[in-house]
A and B are shown apart, each in its own frame.
Chain A
């Protein structure tokens, strides 16, 4: 547990929660990232601008943080391109099929005590934990 950062996690988490509440209170939309992104790939009129604005803010955040000296490190990705592509395809297809990801089901859905979202969150968490257990401990990593 050497890397446990409870304070940063609590502050960051509260901001994520605040963002979801504000988006619903102000614009009436669910802050589900896969849904907001998916809507851009299958665009309908009146459904594009707010989605692009949201992603502009999302990508602006690390750039602004960089200006005040807290730039974001490029994420550490797997060495294998095949794994990156396969994982991307699974995340895209899966979240679209399930109608949500960590934000839409995990935060917005659970906040509303939606049985559908609670089931989705339990499943993707459990499967992700099993995947890490297999790749890191069973097959070595």
Chain B
């Protein structure tokens, strides 16, 4: 049942990206191009999504467990650290260069466009590289990590 629910959620998510036009990099880049012929559609997409998800998440938060699984995986962290800032900036550069973020990129695989296949392969490589790099670094002693958080 949980599998069918995941499939259905992917389908609804994909339909949303498709209907909103956010699968088209030209549409996304037109939103990001505030100094050109600006197209505010992406802002409307975000606001409409939040109008549904904000009350929906409040409802989900009030429940002790999900309907089809044993437990919920709510993100635990809420600090703003260096990896968050640097990672978001890197993502911003890549997003601005092509106009594809992970959702539309993966959905666009359906078109078998060579450019999209190469983009998704590079994206997967970037994720693996980050995981390897993370594993190669020695874990920080707790005192140092705490001091860094305080500064």
The size of the chain A interface, using a CB distance under 8 A, is 109
The answer to whether A31 and B18 have CB atoms under 8 Å apart is no
Chain A residues positioned under 8 Å from B37 (CB to CB): 1-3
Q: Could you tell me which residues of chain B, from 46 to 92, have a CB within 8 Å of some CB in chain A? A: 46-54, 56-57, 59-61, 63, 65-75, 77-80, 83-92
A106→B46 contact, CB < 8 A: yes
Decide if B49 touches A74 in the complex (CB within 8 Å). no
Query: Is the pair A114, B130 in contact by a Cβ cutoff of 8 Å?
Result: no
- Secondary structure call for the A interface: helix
Contact with B along A106-129 (1 / 0, CB 8 A): 111111101110011101111111
Q: Within the complex, what minimum Cβ distance (angstroms) separates A27 from chain B?
A: 5
SS class, residues of chain B in contact with chain A:
helix
Nearest B residue to A10 via CB reads B48
Tell me if B130 and A92 are in contact (CB < 8 A): yes
* Cβ < 8 Å to B, chain A residues 1-52: 1-6, 8-31, 33-34, 37-38, 41-42, 49-51
Given A19-B12, A61-B18, A62-B107, A27 and B94 contact (CB-CB distance below 8 Å): no
Residue from the list B80, B89, B101 in contact with A115, Cβ < 8 A: B80
> What is the CB-to-nearest-CB distance from A128 to chain B, in angstroms, rounded to a whole number?
4
B127 touches A77 (CB 8 A): no
Q: Are A9 and B45 in contact (CB under 8 A)?
A: yes
CB-defined contacts of A11 to chain B, threshold 8 Å: 19-20, 48
The 4 lowest CB-CB distance pairs between A and B, nearest first, are A92-B126, A12-B20, A57-B10, A88-B122
A interface residue numbers (CB < 8 A to B): 1-6, 8-31, 33-34, 37-38, 41-42, 49-51, 53-65, 70, 72-78, 81, 83-99, 101-103, 105-112, 114-116, 119-121, 123-133, 135-137
Interface, chain B (partner A; CB < 8 A): 2-27, 29-30, 32-42, 44-54, 56-57, 59-61, 63, 65-75, 77-80, 83-98, 100-113, 115-116, 118-131
